[in-house]
C-alpha cells in the first residue's frame, strides 16, 4: 500500500462498511484511546467518499485512512480483507473495532485468522483492564449470561453491533485524512444481480420504533395490521424467528440469532417472550406487549402489557394513536 505515514502503533482503529455504525463506534473508540493515551483512527473504504472521510474527523478520529476507488464502490470481501490486512500489518494498531454487520462479521473473523490473532464478536461493552488489555462483553448461553473476554494477542479485534454505543456529538477537532492507494485483489466472486430488501427489513437495528409480531399472527396477510400501526408510529416491522424461518413471511428476525435491536419503543404482538427472542430486545427503552395469555413470559419484561387479542387491540391502538398524533 502506497502513501502511508509513519507507523503510529498502539492506537485504536474503527472500521465498518456501514457509515453510521462507524460513527457509533468512534465514541467508544475515543474513550478507549484516551484510556490508552493513544490515537484514534478510522478506516473508510469505498468510492467517492472524501466528504465522509472529512466528516468523520469531526466525530473524534485523529486520523482517517481513506481508500477511495471506483473498484471499491460495492463491498467485496477479498478486497476489503487485503486492504485491512495490509493496513494493520503496516501500522500495528492495538485495537481494531469492526462493525457487526453482515459483511463486517465474517470480515473480522477472516482478518483475525490471517493475522493469527483473536476476535470477539458482538461486544456490547468494551473496556481496558489494569494490564491495558481490551475486555469485551457479549451475551452468551442463549441470552442467560454475559461473557467477559480479555485478549492475549494483538491486534485485539472486536466486532460491535448497531446501537451498542451512542454516536458521539460533532466535535471541534481537526483530524487528518490520509489518502492511500490500495492494491485491489481481483474478486473471486461475481455479482449477478442486486435486489433491494423490502423497506420494512432495511436496517431494523437502527429503527426507533419497532412493531413486531410472533406466532400469534395467523395469516401472512395479517401483517397489514402491523404495517398500519408501524406507519402511524413511523417505525419498522419485525418478527420472531419462526415467522421468518418456518413460515417464510419475513426474511429476517429479531433475537439472539437474528438482529439485536435497541429502539425507543418495541411493540411485541403475539410474542410469547422466550429467552432467544428477548435477548435481542432487552436494550429497548420501552417494551409494550400485547398477548392474550396473561401468563406469557413477555409480560415479565414489558413496561406496559395489554392482555387481549391482537386482532382487536392493534386496529383500536392504531385509531387512537392516529387521533392523538394528528
Ligand X SMILES: Cc1cc2nc3c(=O)[nH]c(=O)nc-3n(C[C@H](O)[C@H](O)[C@H](O)COP(=O)(O)OP(=O)(O)OC[C@H]3O[C@@H](n4cnc5c(N)ncnc54)[C@H](O)[C@@H]3O)c2cc1C
Residue ranges in contact with ligand X by CB under 6 A: 214-216, 240-242, 253, 255-258, 270-272, 274, 276-277, 280, 290-293, 296, 309-311
Shortest spacing between CB 106 and ligand X, in angstroms: 19
Q: Which is nearer to ligand X, 178 or 245 (CB)?
A: 245
Q: Which is nearer to ligand X, 25 or 164 (CB)?
A: 164
Shortest spacing between CB 88 and ligand X, in angstroms: 32
Shortest spacing between CB 238 and ligand X, in angstroms: 9
Q: Which is nearer to ligand X, 26 or 226 (CB)?
A: 226
Residue with the closest Cβ to ligand X? 255
Q: Write out the three cell numbers for 197.
A: 430488501
Q: Which is nearer to ligand X, 94 or 252 (CB)?
A: 252
- Residue 245, sorted as left (phi over 0), alpha (psi -120 to 50) or beta, turns out to be alpha
Shortest spacing between CB 207 and ligand X, in angstroms: 16
Using CB atoms within 10 A of its CB, is residue 320 exposed (0-12), middle (13-18) or buried (19+)?
exposed
Q: How far apart are CA 37 and CA 30, in angstroms?
A: 10
Q: How far apart are CA 204 and CA 14, in angstroms?
A: 22
Element at 317 (helix H, strand E): helix 310-325
Q: Which is nearer to ligand X, 52 or 223 (CB)?
A: 223
Shortest spacing between CB 237 and ligand X, in angstroms: 14
Q: Write out the three cell numbers for 265.
A: 419503543
**Contact predicate 66/177, CB 8 Å:** yes
Nearest to 306 by CA among 280, 278, 270: 270
Q: Which is nearer to ligand X, 26 or 290 (CB)?
A: 290
Shortest spacing between CB 224 and ligand X, in angstroms: 15
Shortest spacing between CB 261 and ligand X, in angstroms: 11
Query: Between the CA of residue 36 and those of 29, 186, 216, 257, 304, what are the distances in Å?
Result: 11, 38, 50, 33, 43
Nearest to 233 by CA among 212, 217, 252: 212
Q: Which is nearer to ligand X, 103 or 257 (CB)?
A: 257
How big is the chain, counted in residues? 326
Amino acid at each position: 500500500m502506497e502513501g502511508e505515514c509513519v507507523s503510529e502503533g498502539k492506537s485504536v482503529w474503527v472500521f465498518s462498511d456501514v457509515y453510521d455504525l462507524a460513527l457509533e463506534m468512534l465514541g467508544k473508540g475515543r474513550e478507549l484511546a484516551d484510556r490508552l493515551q493513544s490515537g484514534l483512527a478510522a478506516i473508510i473504504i469505498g468510492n467517492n467518499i472524501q466528504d465522509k472521510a472529512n466528516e468523520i474527523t469531526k466525530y473524534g478520529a485523529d486520523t482517517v485512512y481513506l481508500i477511495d476507488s471506483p473498484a471499491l464502490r460495492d463491498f467485496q470481501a477479498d478486497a476489503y480483507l487485503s486492504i485491512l490486512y495490509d493496513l494493520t500489518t503496516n501500522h500495528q494498531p492495538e485495537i481494531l473495532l469492526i462493525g457487526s454487520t453482515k459483511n463486517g462479521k465474517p470480515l473480522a473473523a477472516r482478518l483475525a485468522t490471517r493475522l493469527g490473532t483473536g476476535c470477539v464478536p458482538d461486544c456490547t461493552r468494551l473496556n481496558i483492564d489494569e494490564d491495558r488489555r481490551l475486555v469485551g462483553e457479549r451475551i452468551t448461553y442463549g441470552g442467560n449470561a454475559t461473557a467477559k473476554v480479555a485478549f492475549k494477542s494483538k491486534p485485539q479485534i472486536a466486532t460491535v453491533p448497531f446501537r451498542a454505543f451512542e454516536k458521539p456529538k460533532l466535535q471541534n477537532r481537526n483530524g487528518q485524512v490520509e489518502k492511500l492507494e490500495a492494491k485491489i485483489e481481483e474478486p473471486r466472486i461475481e455479482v449477478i444481480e442486486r435486489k433491494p430488501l423490502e423497506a420494512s427489513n432495511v436496517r431494523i437495528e437502527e429503527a426507533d420504533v419497532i412493531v413486531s409480531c410472533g406466532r400469534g399472527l395467523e395469516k401472512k396477510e395479517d401483517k397489514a395490521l402491523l404495517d398500519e400501526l408501524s406507519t402511524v408510529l413511523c417505525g419498522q416491522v419485525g418478527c420472531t424467528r419462526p415467522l421468518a424461518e418456518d413460515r417464510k413471511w419475513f426474511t429476517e428476525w429479531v433475537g439472539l440469532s437474528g438482529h439485536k435491536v435497541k429502539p425507543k419503543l418495541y411493540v411485541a404482538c403475539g410474542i410469547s417472550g422466550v429467552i432467544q427472542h428477548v435477548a435481542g430486545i432487552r436494550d429497548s427503552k420501552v417494551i409494550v406487549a400485547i398477548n392474550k395469555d396473561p401468563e406469557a413470559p413477555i409480560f415479565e419484561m414489558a413496561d406496559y402489557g395489554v392482555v387481549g387479542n391482537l386482532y382487536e387491540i392493534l386496529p383500536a391502538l392504531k385509531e387512537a394513536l392516529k387521533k392523538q398524533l394528528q
